[in-house]
A and B are shown apart, each in its own frame.
Chain A
Amino acid sequence: MTKELDGLTAAEIVARSFPDGIVEVLASSIVIRTDLLAEVARYLHDTPGLSFNYLEGIASVDYIDYFEVVYNLVSLEENHSMVIKVQAYGREKPEVPSVVSIWKTADFQEREEYDLMGIVFTGHPNLKRIMLWEGFPGHPLRKDFLEFDHRNIAPAGD
């Protein structure tokens, strides 16, 4: 059975190296400082005993005030899992550091969140739209994306 580390345990783990990195401790997850994400991720990935070597998924949520990116980490060696979240403010260009250099699996998932939610992952090697075509107006999974006129959308180019 995968041991799901709850928020308190996770906070304790992260606080060992990043005492001021935790923004909020939730029941089953922690929110960490956005600018420290890459360092925290590297720490969680590399530290023996934690070795979160498997990034199961990246999800992002539009909470109107801010965007939240949820990372679901699993360690295949220790068989425990942990959820960390980061928050990105600003609707124009919400920025979150990319973790592609740590987990390659973040490549497509970050591109997907960029495409559909409009979160810019800084440091991503190839951040371009993945599902929709270049030139699509807006990011459809945002809550303020309501309707669009099909006639105004340029056909998909190559």
Chain B
Amino acid sequence: MNGDIHNFFNIDGAIVSALSGILPAWALVIVAGLIGIIALLVFLVPSQLATIWIERKLIGRFQIRYGPNRVGLFGLLQPLADAVKIVGKESITPAGVDKWVFWLAPIVTFIPALLVYAVIPFGPNLILADLDIGILYLISISSLGVIPVFMAGWSSNNKYALLGAMRSVAQMVSYEIPLVLSIISVVMMTGSLKIGEMVSFQADNLWMFLLQPLALLIFFISASAELNRTPMDIVEGESEIIAGYHTEYSGFKFSMFYVAEYTNVLAVSAILSAVFFGGWLSAPILDLLPAWLWFIAKIYFFFCVFVWIRATLPRMRADQLMGLAWKFLLPLALVNILVTGIEVYMNLHPLLISFINIALAIGLVAGWSELIGNRAVRNERRQYIPVVPVVR
């Protein structure tokens, strides 16, 4: 296990082994870690700019307009220009705020966003810290994400910000449970919490989205709720509560929330592709590209899916969102755990499990939503012809 550090990256391994005679052991850890972190930042920082550009451009094209196209070719330099602009913006700290918390919140918001990347495997052994508790670490760290949001919302001394913060806590509280439970059913199949081993499991068997379609659905919905993106962006629903928890933020401090949001989206895309879509595994035939490129390609694909959803759907209401989590996702996740337990216990063939689970997912989603959903919302076909003539 300790050997993982030394070969998580070939160059890294080479440097570390070259230095191993010179430096003490703890310094080696720091060198290895720093190289890994730099590699991670080399991926993350350009990805920030790229995702912002992709989101704006893609949403523009969904809305049959051009999107950014002024700065640079196809507007490629637009995020850079935005970054330069936002650093030069005046930073306003309103009079009534709780200054310390107000300043700390944008810094703290970055910590969970970045820390989750420690356990994401970008390739076989291409992982910063291959923890035994992999996915549990990830969930624990991401559960901290609510604290900076509440810090920002509470310290702003602004009613919209406070409402946004309250909503954020409630939403995170509601969606964390189905998220965790959906992951548990995956863990039951793989028998390990390590994300790397989950990917290896998918290499031996089917990809997880075929084995656990219901878990995928629950995870996808819960994760996009945790990300506060449409249709679940009640935390910053601009038509209701202005900008939610970051209403009072401006300049660079505001941009930290923005950056953290995109970092989180990428992280969730990464988890989605690692846990459910085979991580670094290539699609069956196309085996030419290196593993990490496959993984990054999958991350970007899921990012585009998030953009697509954002471009299409209206926002849900806070109580409907909570209802979805507690009344729909949570029972389904519990059922899924039981069914998966029985399947694993009976040691069924993966293909059979996949078949059963897909059928079960469709049946459960359809049946349960019909059972608890508002039937009028789903089925009512209203007539819009003059039924009652008012005038004689």
Which residues of A line the B interface, CB within 8 A?
76-79
Contacts and interface: CB of A to CB of B under 8 A. Distances in A.
B391 interface: yes
Contacts of B392: 77-79
9 contacts: A76-B390, A76-B391, A77-B390, A77-B391, A77-B392, A78-B391, A78-B392, A79-B391, A79-B392
Nearest to B390: A76
B387 to A, nearest CB: 15
A56 B390 CA distance: 17
Interface string B364-392: 00000000000000000000000000111
Nearest to A76: B390
B65 to A, nearest CB: 38
A79 B392 CA distance: 8
A133 B267 CA distance: 52
Looking at chain B's contact residues, is the secondary structure mostly helix, strand, loop, or mixed? loop
B306 to A, nearest CB: 42
Contacts of B391: 76-79
A125 B392 CA distance: 35
Nearest to A77: B390
A76 B388 CA distance: 12
A77 B389 CA distance: 9
A158 to B, nearest CB: 15
B143 to A, nearest CB: 42
Nearest to A2: B391
A76 B389 CA distance: 10
Contacts of B390: 76-77
Given A76-B390, A78-B392, A79-B392, 6 more contacts: A76-B391, A77-B390, A77-B391, A77-B392, A78-B391, A79-B391
Task: Give the 9 A-B CB pairs with smallest separation, nearest first.
Answer: A79-B391, A76-B390, A77-B390, A78-B392, A77-B392, A76-B391, A77-B391, A79-B392, A78-B391
Contacts of A76: 390-391
Contacts of A79: 391-392
Nearest to A80: B391
Contacts of A78: 391-392
B392 to A, nearest CB: 7
A78 B390 CA distance: 8
B386 to A, nearest CB: 13
A138 B392 CA distance: 46
Interface in B219-272: none
B188 to A, nearest CB: 59
A78 B389 CA distance: 11
A78 B392 CA distance: 6
A6 to B, nearest CB: 20
B200 to A, nearest CB: 65
Nearest to A78: B392
Nearest to A79: B391
A77 B392 CA distance: 7
A79 B391 CA distance: 6
